[in-house]
């Protein structure tokens, strides 16, 4: 899949892409102002980044940093009745059980917080490299 462009219509295509991004994408991002709102965003648009937080995958540690104890039932309820049992089982195996393992293990919790701190520093260094400044909000956990 793709589209054709040439020098004559490239500016028009870039402008149209920017217009669509402003209209559809930026309003969604505007709602993401802290880690809790990021969890809400991820559950709606990119659930996989929250899976297996006992393995510290993707952005899963944000569940620990936000003290999340959600059962993710709103995701189950979006599915057809016939699929809910399987979806609930998948949610438990990939999201709630791994998260609860971290909460219930002092060693895993300590390692999770250390990993989160390390990731935060790497992300801040990357932002500084690209000269992007962000409003710093103190975090008790970090």
Give pLDDT, residue 24. Answer: 92
Question: Is residue 10 included in any domain, yes or no?
Answer: no
Q: What is the mean pLDDT of the chain?
A: 90
Question: Is residue 1 included in any domain, yes or no?
Answer: no
Question: Is residue 62 included in any domain, yes or no?
Answer: yes
51 DSSP 8-state letter: S
Kindly list the distances between the CA atom of residue 63 and the CA atoms of 37, 40, 60, 70, 94, in Å, as whole numbers in the listed order. Answer: 11, 10, 6, 9, 13
Its pTM stands at 0.78
Is the pLDDT assigned to residue 91 strictly greater than 70?
yes
6 DSSP 8-state letter: -
Q: How many domains does the chain have?
A: 1
Determine the structural domain holding residue 70 and report its residue range.
48-129
Question: Is residue 11 included in any domain, yes or no?
Answer: no
Tens of pLDDT, residue by residue over 9-38, are 888 888 999 999 999 999 998 889 899 999
Structural element, H or E, at residue 123: helix 106-129
Tens of pLDDT, residue by residue over 38-79, are 999 999 999 999 999 999 999 999 999 999 999 999 999 999
Question: Is residue 35 included in any domain, yes or no?
Answer: no
Question: Is residue 20 included in any domain, yes or no?
Answer: no
Question: Is residue 70 included in any domain, yes or no?
Answer: yes
């Amino acid at each position: 899949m793709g589209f054709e462009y040439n020098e004559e219509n490239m500016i028009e295509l870039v402008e149209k892409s920017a217009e669509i991004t402003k209209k559809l994408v930026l309003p969604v991002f505007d709602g993401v102002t802290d880690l809790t709102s990021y969890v809400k965003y991820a559950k709606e648009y990119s659930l996989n980044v929250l899976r297996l937080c006992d393995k510290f995958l993707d952005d899963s540690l944000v569940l620990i940093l936000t003290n999340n104890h959600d059962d993710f039932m709103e995701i189950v309820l979006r599915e057809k009745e016939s699929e809910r049992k399987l979806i609930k089982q998948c949610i438990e195996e990939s999201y709630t059980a791994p998260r609860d393992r971290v909460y219930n293990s002092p060693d895993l919790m300590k390692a999770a917080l250390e990993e989160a701190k390390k990731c935060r520093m790497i992300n801040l260094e990357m932002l500084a490299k690209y000269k992007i400044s962000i409003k710093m909000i103190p975090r008790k956990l970090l």
